Chains A and B, each alone.
Chain A
Amino acid sequence: MSERSEPDAPMVNVAAYWRGDFTLRPEGRAEDEPDADAPSLARLGRSGITAHGRDLAALLAPAYDAFLG
């Protein structure tokens, strides 16, 4: 049924098209944990953006606590 494919369409490597080239990171790779950088909020100072009468940095702090569990 060659009418369904473009006559001059490039050939494709079927296996490569499906597979890609990646490795999944094993769970709980402990050796990475000590190197993990501080939460993003910890690098930031005051924002100068106020909501509910407080600076955004202070308001966001509980959210980051929640992220870190």
Chain B
Amino acid sequence: MFVLHALWRADDRLALWAEDARGYPRALTGAAPRADRPAPHAHPYACPAGELATVLGGIGPGLGWLAAQAPERWAGLLLPTVGALPAPSPDLPVTPPRGGAVLTPWRVPALLFEPGAAAQLLGEIFDPHWAVTDADLPGTGRVEVVRGPALRWLTGVHDLAWRAVGHGRVLPWVVPGDGAAGAGGDGPQARWRPDLDPAGLREAAALAAGCPPVLLGEWPARPAPTGEALLAEALGALVDAEARAALAGAPFPAGATTPERWLHALTGPVAEVAAPPEDVAELRDRLAAWYAAAEPAEPALRLCFRLVEPLGPDADDPEGHPSDDAWRLEFLLQAVDEPSLLVRAADLHEGGAARAALTRAAARPGGQEVDPADVLVAELARAAHRWPALDALRHRSRPSALPLDRAGALDFLRTAAPALAEAGFGVLLPAWWRRRPRLGLALRAAAPPAPGSLAVSSQVDHDAVVAFRWQAALGPDGAPLTERELAELAAAKQELVRVRGTWLEADPAQIAAALAFLAEQRDGVLPAADLLRLALDPEATVAGLPVTSVRVDGPLGDLLAGRADVPAGPERADPPPDFRAELRPYQRRGLAWLRTMSDLGLGAVLADDMGLGKTVQTLALLAAEKAGGATGPTLLVCPMSLVGNWQREAERFAPGLRRYVHHGSGRLGPDRLAAAVEGVDLVVTTYGLVQRDLAALRTIRWRRIVADEAQHVKNAGTAQARAIRALPVARHRIALTGTPVENRLSELHAVLDFANPGLLGPAERFKERYAIPVELHRNPERTAELRRRTAPFVLRRLKSDPAVAAELPAKQEMTVWCNLTAEQAGLYQAVVADLLRRVEGIRGVERRGTVLAAIGKLKQVCNHPAQLLHDGSPLGERSGKVARLAELLEEALAEGDRTLVFTQYAEFGAMLRPYLERRLGEEVLYLHGGVPRARREELVERFQSPDGPRVFLLSLRAGGTGLNLTAANQVIHLDRWWNPAVEQQATDRAFRIGQRRDVQVRRLVCVGTVEERIDELLSAKRSLAEAVVAEGEHRLTELPLDELRELITLTREDAVAEEDA
């Protein structure tokens, strides 16, 4: 009697051997294997290979033929051994020896079958019902032959492979060449691989779980033998063999491309694919993507993967530390229509409520019931196309998790997770991986204390250096690593390491770079400006490592932290004694901030709301520096419409500043300008002239350049913007703007780039990093990063800020100075000359009438030439006052304010309305005396409604009394009504009961004209003023000629804007 045994070897060949019952008694009494011979020894009662071939031939001619083709070889395997002999298998009808058995390697004579032959042999031998057959042996007669369990198991695997091919449940594949591939060469191999349906997968899992251990006993031992692995190998080889057999009659033709060669190798006699490895790898990736994309139609359940970090103490660790290699990839099933139904595979296998819930979720109306366990197995098989590590589980019954070491976990995180997610699987990753703490360098810096002092100075200046210390750190929030921790990191030789409980994807090259850098440059000093650049660049790197954080002590730290608007010491916030304005508390903070920025040589953007006093804060800075002994001119560049305002405000608040206005037809050229501004503190010019007179302005090294209404430099490509950036500046630049630039990021970059050229990088990169993520996607991280980078340089207070509002009066009144255009000035002077010529020879009523008419004309000229000429000509850019009005309204609209605009001339209002509507792009309401009562009420109602028009133009007579217009928080008086009480009444349309916001009131006054003269009189409360107040303009008609001349003559050259000069 013979018992047939089989071994599926690591070289993908079937080794068939047999025990011969006749030999066992001889073995018991025979000589024991010689101990001086190296193990393994020959099995003493194994059937010789030649005799085995005879036995097979005795079973049937097909088997005989296969056996005749098979080479005879020794096969090594572990067998239970009692004493010096292998224990007989249970099927051998002999009395087993007494005593315990241990596994020992033995050599057995075997017939070896390549996969193709093995498939034929296993198919021939397969009998699911009977283990025993008989063979007719020549000279002996019939003998019993038992198919041992190992052989029967392999016939079962073959049967599964045969049916898989017969049902088309196979997929063509390519495996990379590793020098150990199967038939056909050492290069990449074309293979058919099983793609079992759920029933097949269940069957495979059952076979794998029940694999006879003797099949895993090949000697020398294969690494980590398991039933699953053996089943996968044997099934794969047998499927390939059966598929090739099925296609033997119709091979794919040969071809030139890699896919064509691969196809040919799938059916041809040679499985090796003769193609470059990179082409083969690409083909494999494309096949994997193709197969993984084959999701079941309308899947009800989704397979999810959750990577679980090593938790709890390691049983093998004597001190109970957690193992860093005990990672686990958990499998879960999720109901597609009910994502909160997420069940761990382990719970699914236990049955109960979780399984029932998933079964319900998987059921489709009218469809078959779906077993969630089948979905799990099938989807795992699909996922294995994307991540071959899952192949190990393909034939495991009740798979629930895959244990991983660190390398496996990292491979999953880096490559498998994205690939699986792309194929539609759920992937749940640890939170730290999403934030990916990386090794970088953290900088700690402080201004070095002065020798002998104990405290760090409260000030830093332009030339300050700061002492620094670098430390390695993990991520932006991670505390710096100690030297020991970094050294341990370097020694770990792992790419996934745990530091202080946090996992880190470590790059050995980066660790080495950090160590080398710290060894050389750990400490030192560097200029404050360089420090700022490091701190504010989110992509800053040092020695190839990211700068994870910069921590700075002292005022520089406050600045970096965006704590600009903090109470400062009196020495920083006090204007000098000769400064003639009381700064409000927020303005004092602004002054202190401007001084800090100036000291540091950093550009500043003062972006307070309109009316909060950007001008006065800037003048206070200049005055404070002058008082401190600073020298050198500040160049203030502003729109034409603001030149007069700066002149007047400087005169009024900072009379100690020496001023120079560079404008007008007589302005100086390059040869004389430098001398003219020698010793001057403030030079005022316009954007237009900076471009036109760049050569002259470049001859001076400016202490500071201030760009007022800095939105004029928002387009860095314009000649004007290029010109102002080309001016040499010794200390820093200041941008003043009331436009909320933070809402328009391209403008924010332009303004900040003017103030601090290059600090925020090129506009395109800025746009890519912020404009799109912040403006379009409202990305909170980028928004916070943008705020962090820009906060040190931008000081913006809103009039609605509670802290600011508390410091403001409920009604703020201010005078806005405007220039005349050349056209206005020409007309103005003509009216004056005409009056002075005519008034000499007339008296009484005629004189009064002539003077009154002339003053009226002058006021009209101040408003706009078209108002005087009554010619219906377009308004265009012909009036400094109208230009300023439009700017103010634009600013107010940008801040969400509503504005009343009063004029005493209904005709002017009618001209202004269409002009303003075009300029502002909004409806402008207009109320004048000719508006019927019903329409008047409708206009008021519309203005008062929350969604109504935001600019309301009113003639003083029609709108000055009786109306309730509390929706407005801005009031502009376009032209002066000499009696302040009249203006007051008009103002009170907005500033009255029901007004919940603070109100700003502006009076527009043209510099150097009768308007300014009257304003001075009113401010000085002189007797003439009182008379004017009492009697109106009629009193002016009585003035003697010299006083009249003084009152109306255009006295100052700087009253005229230079653009038209």
Contact = CB atoms under 8 A, between A and B. Distances in A.
A16 B213 contact: yes
Contacts of B168: 38-42, 64, 67-68
A26 B170 CA distance: 22
B472 to A, nearest CB: 46
B438 to A, nearest CB: 36
Given A3-B35, A20-B149, A26 B166 contact: no
B101 A39 contact: no
Nearest to A68: B168
Contact of A18 (B89, B243, B247, B293): B89
Contact of B253 (A11, A35, A42, A52): A52
B169 A37 contact: yes
Given A18-B90, A21-B210, A60-B172, A11 B128 contact: no
B96 interface: yes
B581 interface: no
Contacts of B291: 44
Contacts of B87: 14
B209 interface: yes
B502 to A, nearest CB: 41
A14 B90 contact: yes
Contacts of A22: 153, 156, 206-207, 209-212
A56 B80 contact: no
B83 A49 contact: no
B197 A24 contact: no
B203 interface: yes
Contacts of A40: 168-171, 195
B494 interface: no
A5 B104 contact: yes
Contacts, number: 171
B252 interface: yes
A36 B155 contact: no
Contact of B286 (A4, A14, A42, A48): A48
Nearest to A57: B290
B169 A32 contact: no
A2 B83 contact: yes
Given A20-B210, A51-B263, A67-B167, 6 more contacts: A3-B35, A12-B80, A17-B103, A20-B215, A24-B156, A49-B283
B103 A19 contact: no
A9 interface: yes
21 contacts: A1-B84, A6-B102, A12-B103, A14-B80, A14-B87, A17-B80, A17-B212, A18-B213, A19-B149, A24-B152, A24-B155, A27-B159, A43-B294, A44-B291, A51-B259, A63-B252, A66-B249, A67-B168, A67-B170, A67-B246, A68-B168
Given A14-B90, A24-B152, A52 B170 contact: no
B507 to A, nearest CB: 35
Contacts of B255: 51-52
A18 B150 contact: yes
Given A40-B171, A69-B166, A4 B81 contact: yes
Query: Considering the complex of A and B, which 8 residue pairs feature the smallest CB-CB distances, nearest first?
Result: A39-B168, A1-B84, A20-B212, A22-B210, A37-B197, A24-B128, A21-B210, A9-B102
Nearest to B159: A25
A17 B88 CA distance: 11
Contacts of A24: 126, 128, 152, 155-156, 159
B934 interface: no
Contacts of A30: none
Contacts of A6: 102, 104
Contacts of A11: 100-102
A20 B129 CA distance: 17
B582 interface: no
Nearest to A43: B294
Contacts of B718: none
Given A19-B212, A20-B210, A22-B156, A59 B150 contact: no
A37 B212 CA distance: 29
Contacts of A3: 35
Interface in B165-183: 165-172
A25 B158 CA distance: 11
Interface string B133-176: 00000000000000011101101100110000111111110000
A21 B209 contact: yes
Interface of A: 1-6, 9-27, 32, 35-45, 47-52, 56, 59-60, 62-64, 66-69
Contacts of B126: 24
A59 B83 contact: no
A39 B90 contact: no
A44 B247 CA distance: 20
Size category of the B interface is 35 or more
A42 B290 CA distance: 13
B487 interface: no
Contact of B39 (A4, A37, A48, A67): A4
A14 B210 contact: no
A18 to B, nearest CB: 5
Nearest to B260: A51
Contact of A51 (B150, B215, B257): B257
Nearest to A24: B128
Nearest to B168: A39
A58 to B, nearest CB: 12
Contacts of A12: 80, 101-103
A40 B165 CA distance: 10
B1007 to A, nearest CB: 75
B281 to A, nearest CB: 14
B172 A14 contact: no
Nearest to B194: A40
Given A11-B100, A47-B290, A52-B255, A17 B213 contact: yes
B676 to A, nearest CB: 76
B911 interface: no
Interface string B829-865: 0000000000000000000000000000000000000
Contact of A4 (B84, B213, B247, B283): B84
Contacts of B206: 22-23
A53 B1022 CA distance: 101
A67 B166 contact: yes
A10 to B, nearest CB: 7
A40 B293 CA distance: 12
Nearest to B242: A67
Nearest to B128: A24
A20 B286 CA distance: 39
A48 B285 CA distance: 12
A5 B293 CA distance: 53
A14 B212 contact: no
Nearest to B213: A17
B32 interface: yes
B287 A49 contact: yes
Contact of A36 (B81, B197, B287): B197
Given A24-B156, A39-B167, A32 B207 contact: no
Contacts of B165: 67
Contacts of B294: 43-45
A52 B692 CA distance: 70
A26 B126 CA distance: 10
A12 B103 CA distance: 7
A46 to B, nearest CB: 9
Contacts of B263: 51, 56, 59
Contacts of A23: 206, 210
Contacts of B153: 20, 22
Contacts of A25: 128, 156, 159-160, 203
A44 B170 contact: no
B33 interface: yes
Nearest to A1: B84
B949 interface: no
A63 B266 CA distance: 10
A66 B247 CA distance: 7
B199 interface: yes
A62 B250 contact: yes
Contacts of B424: none
Contacts of A49: 259, 283, 286-287, 290
